[in-house]
Amino acid sequence: MKFLLGSSSPRRAELLRMIGLPFSIEKSLYNERDINLSEDILSYSKELSVKKGEEILTRVKSDLLLTSDTIVELSGKVLGKPKDKSEARKMLRNLSGAQHQVITSFAFFKGETLDLVDTELSRVTFKELSSQDIDHYIDSASYLDKAGAYGIQDHGQAFAQNLEGNFSNVVGLPLNRVLDYLESRFGPDWRNNFE
């Protein structure tokens, strides 16, 4: 059986490698702007993860496909991936000293059928950030491909004063939930099902 990760995120791929899952990668070409951001951010995130999978399945066949979408939400506002340094600085200033939510939705497709879509939510509180903290981070880290302009897996973790919930969810994929799914569908020896 072949497992396909429908994401170009190196962080998600690294997480799957940690649990010993063999997989190949296919980036979704779905345009996220095709969905209007609704007030229900959880539903919006779920819909994005499903639409990404549906788009991939129009081009590629897979035994098992996993797609995902991560959103950073601060006071009801979604912080996506910054388009430049100026926007990244603004996002980090807004996150400074505040609690935000990291929402990751994930969808599993067996063949062409949606088998599960669910969401994990974590809360992260940032310490107060100085202008020097922000400038140093922006100058030394890759922020453009990260929702909220930071990665908790790099030295952005120094900003996190408190984390409630799953660390890997904040990285981009709730690894415990992936394991739960694989074990529930394929049993404790699930690794034997994949090549």
* pLDDT band at residue 35 using 50, 70 and 90 as cut-offs: low
* pLDDT band at residue 80 using 50, 70 and 90 as cut-offs: confident
In the set 34, 63, 69, 154, the catalytic residue is 69
Residue type, 61: K
Give the residue with greater pLDDT, 160 vs 33: 160
User: Where would I find the beta strands (DSSP E) of the chain?
Assistant: 3-6, 24-25, 64-74, 77-79, 99-110, 113-126, 160-164
The residue extents of the domains of the chain are 3-193
Write down the pLDDT at residue 32.
Answer: 76
Write down the pLDDT at residue 81.
Answer: 85
The Cα 177–Cα 122 span in angstroms is 13
Residue found by looking up tokens 């081009």 in the block: 59
Over residues 31-50, the mean pLDDT reads 81
CATH 3.40.50.620 fits 3-193, yes or no: no
Compute how many other C-beta atoms are within 10 angstroms of the C-beta atom of residue 143. Answer: 24
Question: Are the CB atoms for 124 and 152 separated by under 8 Å?
Answer: yes
DSSP H helices in 3-148: 10-18, 41-57, 85-95, 131-140
Over residues 10-26, the mean pLDDT reads 94
The Cα 61–Cα 126 span in angstroms is 42
* pLDDT band at residue 156 using 50, 70 and 90 as cut-offs: confident
pLDDT of residue 95 exceeding 90, the answer is: yes
63 carries an active-site annotation: no
pTM greater than 0.75 (yes/no): yes
N- to C-terminal Cα separation, the chain: 6
Write down the pLDDT at residue 143.
Answer: 80
With both helix axes pointing from N to C terminus, report the angle between 131-140 and 85-95 in degrees, rounded to the nearest 10.
130
Residue 96's nearest CA partner among 36, 45, 160, 53 is 160
pLDDT of residue 144 exceeding 90, the answer is: no
What is the number of residues in the chain? 195
